[in-house]
Every structure is written in structure tokens, then in C-alpha cells.
Structure 1
Amino acid sequence: MLVKPFREDGRISGLLRDARGPKPGLQPLDPTVEEIVSRCFKGFMPPVANPPGRRSGA
């Protein structure tokens, strides 16, 4: 819950939920590294049977 962080540091900002998206200061992967990781990931993961955005039986 959100009360625990507030009790630990006493700041009201502890009650706020974390923002979505990349955290400040994080660096995206180099495009070459991203391509290598993507290829490896696709090799290990089976294809999705019902990908998002597509309806079966339509």
C-alpha cells in the first residue's frame, strides 16, 4: 500500500503512485544491442497464439 512509504520517510510524496514510463536518468540501449537482444528474445520465446488487437473467430 501507499501508507508504508509515507510512514517510513514522513513525506507526503510517499503517498503518490510511481509515474509510468522510463525513470529519469535511465539510458536506452544502443540500437545495435537492442537488435541483438530482440533477435535472441524472439528465438527463445514461442509466438503468441492470439496476438493483441486480433480477434479469433471474426
Structure 2
Amino acid sequence: MSDRQREQQGSTRSFETRQTQRAFRHAMSRGLKAAYDPVVSRSVPDEFMDLLEKADKKRA
């Protein structure tokens, strides 16, 4: 195998690795978004807001 062939094979492998990594990151992003979107859209419970307000008052 010539140096040129090795170089082409290495760049192809590198391209395939980058494509695989990009596909994995995209799939993870979609999965995380699907999992956390419902949580983010919920309102904060009143009891938790009360605790935050009390903590803020103690700090001031």
C-alpha cells in the first residue's frame, strides 16, 4: 500500500468517525430534549417558591 493510499484510507476513516460522532450527538440531543421538554414546561410548585423566598430573606 502506498503512502497516498494510506493517507486516503486514514482520511476516510476519520471522516466516518466524525460522521458517527455527529450522528451520536444529534441522537443524544433529540433524546434529552424529548425527556426534559415536559419538565421545563411545568410551573414551579408554590411550596418550592416559598422556600426560595425564605432563603432569599435570610441572605439579605
TM-score if structure 2 supplies the norm length?
Answer: 0.29
Structure with greater helix percent: 2
Larger radius of gyration: 2
TM-score if structure 1 supplies the norm length?
Answer: 0.29
Does 1 or 2 have the higher relative contact order (CA < 8 Å, sep 6+)?
Answer: 1
